[in-house]
Structure 1
Amino acid sequence: MKLTHLWPVVGIGLIIACNQISHNTLFTRLSLLVNLQPAPPKDSTVRYGVEALKVDTTLFEKPRLVNTLTDPSLIEASGLAPSRTNPGYLWTQEDSGNPNQIQLLTKTGDIAGQYILDGLVNHDWEDIATGPGPVAGKTYIYLAEIGDNNFKYPEKIIYRFPEPSITGKKLPVKEHIAKVDVLRFKLSDGAQNAEAMLLDPIKKDLFILSKGRYSTVYLAPYPQRINQPTLMTRMLTLPFEKVTAAAISGDGSEILIRTYKKLFYYTRQPHESVIDALKREARLIPLADEPQGEAVCWASDGSGYYTTSERTFFSTQKLYFYPRKQ
């Protein structure tokens, strides 16, 4: 139904609002409505025509359906990460409004484990990663509390804890995780919405990628402080609209950044930083037509990558795999 007859009422309401609140307050509220971001610094903006990119089909196969995720305890998968401790399995988490738990999926997308993070609240968990941490030889899970649709949270939080093993346990495993490192960050230009995180498996640096009309990349070098806010540095601005997930391969040589409808691929040279790799033009690679795609990760053996989408009122939630071409 069209509501054009309400525009005079809306106009009167805006005039009244302007008389009742300051110009700064009004600008802030309008900014939230149109999802404004600070202007990207010219010297850190990567420029090329994203719309002109064609899908490169020489590297990876078209999506293969692994399974439809039908378990009622998992309806809004917002992140994926390969298990290093349990090869072949995948970690996933849900975002705002869902329980404070992460789940372990089998190769066929069935739930093999549910782990409740004691004492934590899922305000908006948006991404998940696995990789090295403070203890050499041990694999950690990094859980990103970084969503902020209303630009109201002064800090981003990444939870870090050792990856659990299911070896010798009856499936599905149901356990609690009590000890979690809390890594707190402030962004150099204030509150931003974000849904994507990168963990560099070589240097153990952490990156957050904002979600908006373009994507700003923020860096927190290793080691990150525990329980004390660290200022993340604004490093780079990418020409991608609505970034929802990101991932780095286990050897650190390949990077994926996804939006709802596109997946961008980078290669990283030996001794090259993540930021320098992202300065090159990305390649567009295959991505399934997902209703609300918010997750991507590499397979633990590097044989390809996975994606999935949140379930919607009109669609199911499917897990896809994209094999690497030989």
Structure 2
Amino acid sequence: MCFFPRYLLAAFAGLLVGCSSRQGRGSFADATARYTVSEIGRINSRAQESSGLENATPEGDLWTHADGGNTARLYRVTRQGDLLQALDLSPLQNIDWEDLAQDEEHRLYVGDFGNNQNKRRNLHIYRLSGPSLTQIDTIQFTYPDQRAFPPRKPRRNFDCEAFYYYQDSLYLFTKNRGTNGVVKQYVLPARPGRYTARLADSLQLPTWVTAADISPDGHRVALLGTGTVYQFERLPGRRLFDGLKTMLSIPKTGQAEALVFVNTQDFIISNEKGKLFLAKHNPE
């Protein structure tokens, strides 16, 4: 098995190359040398504990939100972290908001699906629309393979901190708190309603997944892990984890919690202390 104890996650992230080959899914090429990662700012203290990122304006502003238990607000900030707007979404509750996504019509999706103990039965995704994002619709869902709330500790793989939107669907990735190191990918319709998610794919990774995004051209998916970003090339008609895989080491970003593509190659990462980092792809 390609599983590492939790206290070795960051130290052994680099050993991921070749790890998934035992599942016949190919190995990860090390892309660290192709990127320059630099700190670009720090989010205003009101929006620290940043847990999600999404693009807000063509000028480069970002939406973010605080972690679970904080107020139900979205914050629009510059890439340097300066606060521009605080959007109050009361009477919604921030039970455990974990990530943001956006569709072609610039509707925002707020993932209230953090589930540390694997016992929640009220998993929600809120869709915000309208000129001021004040129209709120709700997507409720359950996992098709969860039978107990919570399951036994080795089987706790129903926490989620990562998703993205693509072609009328939402793609969710689990933060495995069990013992087999498998990340599961689920799919939901991106429209209001009550659904049972579809289990679409799975892959063994040695770190928790805390954020996800898809590049604007739809060709590449990035998953944020502990000290590492894993990228997958999407192949038409194939499962996501069948695609070509690369990994980028980001050891200086601390406990990173959010990631968003700002173009087809570059992305911004935030950590729990509100620091913002730009991962810029170097020309060949």
Shorter-chain-normalised TM-score: which range?
0.7 to 0.9
Match runs of 1:38-49 below 5 Å: 47-48=20-21
1:289 Cα offset (Å):
2.2
1:68 Cα offset (Å):
2.7
Q: Cα 1:307–1:117, aligned 2, differ >3 Å: closer, same or farther? A: same
Query: Is residue 148 of structure 1 aligned with residue 123 of structure 2?
Result: no
Higher strand share: 2
Q: How far, CA to CA, are the matches of 2:270 and 2:227 in structure 1?
A: 12
- Residue of structure 2 in register with 1:298 after alignment: 261
Q: How far, CA to CA, are the matches of 2:214 and 2:29 in structure 1?
A: 22
- For 2:85, give the aligned amino acid: G
Q: How far, CA to CA, are the matches of 1:211 and 1:163 in structure 2?
A: 32
- Residue of structure 1 in register with 2:222 after alignment: 256
Query: Is residue 214 of structure 1 aligned with residue 182 of structure 2?
Result: yes
Q: How far, CA to CA, are the matches of 1:252 and 1:305 in structure 2?
A: 14
- Residue of structure 2 in register with 1:123 after alignment: 95
Structure number with greater Rg is 1
Q: Cα 1:308–1:161, aligned 2, differ >3 Å: closer, same or farther? A: same
Query: Is residue 193 of structure 1 aligned with residue 165 of structure 2?
Result: no
- Residue of structure 1 in register with 2:154 after alignment: none
Q: Which runs of 5+ in 2 are unaligned?
A: 1-5, 7-18, 150-157
- Residue of structure 2 in register with 1:309 after alignment: 271
Q: Cα 1:290–1:104, aligned 2, differ >3 Å: closer, same or farther? A: same
Deviations 1:98-123 (A, max 9, x none): 11001111132211111111210000
Q: Cα 1:231–1:183, aligned 2, differ >3 Å: closer, same or farther? A: same
Give the 3-state SS of the residue equivalent to 2:135 in structure 1.
Answer: coil
Say if 2:161 and 2:174, in contact at 8 Å, map to a contact too: yes
Deviations 1:208-265 (A, max 9, x none): 111113211111145x3x2x32010111112123111000012211110111221111
Q: How far, CA to CA, are the matches of 1:163 and 1:320 in structure 2?
A: 30
- Residue of structure 2 in register with 1:320 after alignment: 277
Count of residues in Structure 1 that have an aligned counterpart in Structure 2: 248
Say if 1:262 and 1:287, in contact at 8 Å, map to a contact too: yes
Say if 1:93 and 1:103, in contact at 8 Å, map to a contact too: yes
Q: How far, CA to CA, are the matches of 1:75 and 1:247 in structure 2?
A: 20
Say if 2:253 and 2:277, in contact at 8 Å, map to a contact too: no
Q: How far, CA to CA, are the matches of 2:225 and 2:187 in structure 1?
A: 20
Deviations 1:138-157 (A, max 9, x none): 31111100101111212421
Deviations 1:148-201 (A, max 9, x none): 111121242111112757xxxxxxxxxxx542010111110126111111211x
Q: How far, CA to CA, are the matches of 1:62 and 1:112 in structure 2?
A: 27
TM-score normalised to the size of structure 2? 0.79
- Residue of structure 1 in register with 2:9 after alignment: none
Q: Cα 1:102–1:253, aligned 2, differ >3 Å: closer, same or farther? A: same
Q: How far, CA to CA, are the matches of 1:156 and 1:289 in structure 2?
A: 32
Q: How far, CA to CA, are the matches of 2:228 and 2:130 in structure 1?
A: 30
Give the 3-state SS of the residue equivalent to 1:112 in structure 2.
Answer: strand
Q: Cα 1:163–1:260, aligned 2, differ >3 Å: closer, same or farther? A: farther
Q: Cα 1:303–1:211, aligned 2, differ >3 Å: closer, same or farther? A: closer
- Residue of structure 2 in register with 1:7 after alignment: none
Q: Cα 1:105–1:164, aligned 2, differ >3 Å: closer, same or farther? A: farther
Say if 1:214 and 1:242, in contact at 8 Å, map to a contact too: no
User: What RMSD in Å do the two structures reach over aligned CA positions?
Assistant: 2.4
1:86 Cα offset (Å):
4.1
Say if 2:102 and 2:164, in contact at 8 Å, map to a contact too: no
- For 2:276, give the aligned amino acid: L
1:281 Cα offset (Å):
4.7
Q: How far, CA to CA, are the matches of 1:277 and 1:208 in structure 2?
A: 12
Q: How far, CA to CA, are the matches of 2:130 and 2:216 in structure 1?
A: 15
Q: Which runs of 5+ in 1 are unaligned?
A: 1-33, 35-45, 133-137, 166-176, 312-316
Query: Is residue 239 of structure 1 aligned with residue 204 of structure 2?
Result: yes
Q: How far, CA to CA, are the matches of 1:308 and 1:152 in structure 2?
A: 27
Query: Is residue 278 of structure 1 aligned with residue 241 of structure 2?
Result: yes
Structure 1 moving runs of 4+ over 6 Å: none
Q: Cα 1:163–1:81, aligned 2, differ >3 Å: closer, same or farther? A: farther
Give the 3-state SS of the residue equivalent to 1:64 in structure 2.
Answer: strand
- For 1:210, give the aligned amino acid: T
Out of 39, 42, 46, the residue aligned to residue 73 of structure 1 is: 46
Give the 3-state SS of the residue equivalent to 2:45 in structure 1.
Answer: coil
Q: How far, CA to CA, are the matches of 2:221 and 2:130 in structure 1?
A: 22
Q: How far, CA to CA, are the matches of 2:94 and 2:219 in structure 1?
A: 32
